[in-house]
Structure 1
Amino acid sequence: MKMSRRDVLQRLAVAVPAVAVGGALPPSAAAAEGDGFGPLVIRDQGGFAVGGSVVTTPGTFDPRRPTNPAGQTLHGDHARVFYQVPDRPRALPLVLWHGFKESGTSWGMTPDGREGFQTLFLRRRFAVYTLDQPRRGAAGRTTQRATVDIATDEQWFYNQFRLGLWPNLYPGVQFPDDPQALEQFFRQMVPDTGPIDGNLLRDGVSAVFDRIGRGILMTHSQACGFGWRTAMVNPRVKGVVALEPGSGFVFPEGEVPPPMPSSAGTLNGEAVSLANFRRLTRIPIAVYYGDNIPTEPTDIAGRDNWRVRLAMARLWVDAINRHGGDATLVHLPAVGIRGNTHFLFSDLNNERIARHIASFLARKGLS
């Protein structure tokens, strides 16, 4: 297969790290400041597990009966993190938390082989910590039994994730019109290996910040609600960027808005104490939504659920700001950026989205 010059450069950048001499930046470092696909200087990379628990079966382990559980242990329910630190990293690292049916893989290469946010923000000199939440992906070791769902459901998610209305893409959508890209998109979906436990997820990601210190949390979809709860319990979270939250909107007790019905079901806000809610008012927050979200009710569930989610997000941002916080909602079509799906970080214009987010972080003193 013939490779483009860009493909060659990307592979060489991984295989042959550049070295800065005498404190001067090599030419490749210019790309790390923003756009571009030159060689990338990575100072450090690795991985670790945090959080979780250990289950022990009573008894004494007998090496002659290795399948007997007596005296044996199971380490599970942890989060798994892969990290990369660029040359001359910015003060605050970025923690990437995937959404429903996804894993940390979603932040890496896009379905059509371009760089995802994991690398685009590394090029902007953020240390990037990409996690798999407990009981998902590389953190699949669970202490709770569950049945893995094997339903044929990909056409539902095609609509739900706003690529289009199966089998047709939306006109102008920022997803490649390429069967191989769609194949890769479907194959990045992963199951939960155990029950989804909000407290477990919150504590696992909080443990990431306990280990790495102060940082910025970027969440997607289902993780957004859990991310706000993480920020409420861990002051090391210094800012949150939430990409298309779909649930988990927290409001002070007595201020929860009325339920919002849709053809996909009813969306409810969640009550928390005013003291906990106010912790979210101490950090900058940005909430992003893409395109093709209807303004009027529709009987197509994969579209109508986003109508109420965007409406609830507006109320949530208003509540944060009403209590003295600093929250911003960015509906991309309203700022002239059109065609984005639920996966802003892997859409065809993901560089432009990354640039917009980086600008927000800079304005808020987080870069």
Structure 2
Amino acid sequence: MFRKVSTLLIASLLSFGANAQPKGKREPLVTQEQGSFLVGGTTLTEPGKFEVANALKPQGQTLHGDHAYAFYQIPVKAHKYPLVFLHGAGESKKTWESTPDGREGFQTIFLRRGYGVYLLDQPRRGEAGKSTVATTITPTPDEQFWFTQFRIGNYPDYFPGSQFPKDTAALEQFFRQMTPNTGAFDANIVSNACSKLFDRIGDGILITHSQGGGIGWFTAIKNPKVKAVIAYEPFSSFVFPAGELPKPIQSASLFGELKGVEIPLSDFEKLTRIPIIIYYGDNIADQPTTVWNKDHWRAGLEMAKIWAATINKHGGHAKVVHLPDLGIKGNTHFPFSDLNNLQIADLLSDFLRENNLNK
């Protein structure tokens, strides 16, 4: 499954720890290993006997589905813990690859910094699209909603100082990278597949985005090989111990109030054993407002702070970082691919170093 990548194809070694180069001036990359595989999933079998003469009939045949797809790259002299990247809703592993305007994304930024990287397509999405359940995909013009929901701006206007590239080609690339579910989103199926990945690769660090945030908590609960969780702008599926569920947070969100999820204390306590950090970008309201996208994410940020405080009350190590509080302005829902993504990557590198995860 694993294959060596010939160093004859690449001119020089990685510049570990250095910032990624601007487009057109990048240093060559060298990887020790590169490949892909499918992990997790289930198998359905149709009753009956398979007959070669009637091979188009389902009787006696199988369907393998609901697995995750993983693409990986391991650099020369890699750090001990690889980084596992999980996308959010409507996205795929493309989230972490080249940015919409063609700059390096976290995939190669952190490869250059000496980390093995695993990019996931969750079950029923992207290259893991083989689902065991049916769905109907209806083409729906909704991209201006997503522009607004993801706080690029209030379409057609960009927020002042937005870190999203403002050329039309980049915006088209962004719209085209979105991809549908081929079956209903199921957090248990997705976290099972993520846990199976850690069973296969061993200890590592899980990095999530948006809807993937809840998957991060569930995966860390299921598998002690998750040594840290970094979450970019989670919104739903904040988990709390039984009896400690906070009141729902009301907002002008198009999706209604934000509720937490109650789980057994024994499961919640597993999250207190690893470092966790959550990052949020700019243009999030600091008090209730009728501007629905800003208020939607206000609720998410407030819930995240309540959640982190609950983790820490139980002896954990969770932190919420609102980037404007650090003087970092203009970030959208995709800070890791915004124009200042090297600065955002530096924050992640600092977190890994401070928690002795860069060995």
The answer to whether TM tops 0.5 is yes
Q: What amino acid sits opposite 1:263 in the alignment? A: A
Question: Does structure 1 residue 17 correspond to structure 2 residue 13?
Answer: no
| Alignment correspondent of 2:193 | 204
- Partner amino acid, structure 1, of 2:56: T
Among 330, 333, 345, the residue aligned to 2:324: 333
1:231 corresponds, among 198, 205, 220, to: 220
How many Å separate the matches in 2 of 1:150 and 1:119?
A: 33
* Residue deviations 1:308-359 (CA, integer Å, cap 9, x gap): 1000001111111111111111110001111100001110011110111111
- Tell me the CA shift for residue 68 of structure 1: 0.9
Contact 1:32 1:40 in 2 (8 A): no
Residue of structure 2 equivalent to 1:244 = 233
Deviation string, structure 1 residues 83-102 (Cα, Å, up to 9, x no partner)? 00001000000000000000
C-alpha separation between the residues in 1 aligned to 2:175 and 2:288? Answer: 28
| Pairwise CA RMSD | 1.4
Does the 8 A contact of 1:34 with 1:355 survive in 2?
no
- Alignment partner of 1:261: what SS? coil
Q: Quick one: distance in 2 between partners of 1:15 and 1:164? A: 45
Equivalent residue in structure 1 for 2:110, among 121, 131, 138: 121
* Aligned-partner SS, 1:238: strand
Please tell me whether residue 321 in structure 1 is matched to residue 312 in structure 2: yes
SS of aligned partner of 1:148:
coil
Residue of structure 2 aligned with 1:291, choices 275, 282, 302: 282
Q: Cα gap change, 1:68/1:347 in structure 2, threshold over 3 Å: closer, same or farther? A: same
Does 2:27 match 1:34? no
* C-alpha distance in structure 2 between counterparts of 1:14 and 1:118, whole Å: 19
C-alpha distance in 2 between matches for 1:15 and 1:36: 22
Is 1:301–2:285 an aligned residue pair? no
Specify the alignment match of 1:349 in structure 2.
Answer: 340
1:271 paired with 2:255, answer no
Identity of aligned residues (%): 52
Match of 1:360 in 2: 351
User: Unpaired segments of 5 or more residues in structure 2?
Assistant: 1-5, 22-26
> Structure 2: how far apart are the matches of 1:284 and 1:173?
30
Q: Which residue identity lines up with residue 16 of structure 2 in the other structure?
A: A
| Cα offset, 1:15, TM superposition | 8.2
Q: Give the partner amino acid of 1:36.
A: A
Instruction: Pick from 44, 59, 64 the counterpart of residue 70 of structure 1.
Output: 59
Kept in 1: contact 2:210–2:234 (CA 8 A): yes
Question: What is the alpha-carbon distance in structure 1 between the residues aligned to residue 135 and residue 318 of structure 2?
Answer: 37
Distance 1:116 1:233 in 2: 29
Q: Output the CA distance in 2 between the equivalents of 1:308 and 1:115.
A: 31
Distance 1:123 1:276 in 2: 36
Equivalent residue runs for 1:137-148 within 5 Å: 137-148=126-137
Gaps of 5+ in 1: 1-12, 19-25
User: Which residue is equivalent to 1:84?
Assistant: 73
- Say which is worse superposed, 300-309 or 112-121, in terms of deviation: 300-309
Within-5 A mapping of 1:213-232: 213-232=202-221
Alignment of 1:31-180 (within 5 A): 31-37=15-21, 38-180=27-169
Among 234, 241, 245, which residue is 1:256 paired with?
Answer: 245
- Give the Å deviation of 1:158: 0.5
C-alpha distance after superposition, 1:211-234 (max 9, x if no partner): 000000000000101110110110
1:1-42, Cα deviation, whole Å (9 max, x unpaired): xxxxxxxxxxxx998324xxxxxxx6x43x222313311111
CA contact (8 A) 1:17 1:42 kept: no
C-alpha separation in 2, matches of 1:211 and 1:202? 14
Contact 2:100 2:170 in 1 (8 A): yes
Amino acid in the other structure paired with 1:253? A
- In structure 2, the residue matched to 1:9 is none
Aligned residues: 346
Residue type at the aligned position of 1:225: G
State the shift of 1:268 in Å. 0.4
The 3-state SS of whatever aligns with 1:44 is strand
Q: TM (normalized to structure 1)?
A: 0.92
Q: Which letter does structure 2 place at the counterpart of 1:303?
A: K
Give the equivalent residue in structure 2 for 1:23.
none
Alpha carbons 1:149, 1:191 under 8 Å: kept: no
Q: State the secondary structure of the residue aligned to 1:139.
A: coil
Q: Is the 8 A contact 2:20 2:342 kept in 1?
A: no
The 2-side partners of 1:293 and 1:237 are apart by 30
Give the whole-Å Cα distance in 2 for the aligned partners of 1:16 and 1:118: 19
**Cα distance 1:169–1:363, how it changes in 2: closer, same or farther (>3 A)?**
same
Deviations 1:55-74 (A, max 9, x none): 11122222232221111111
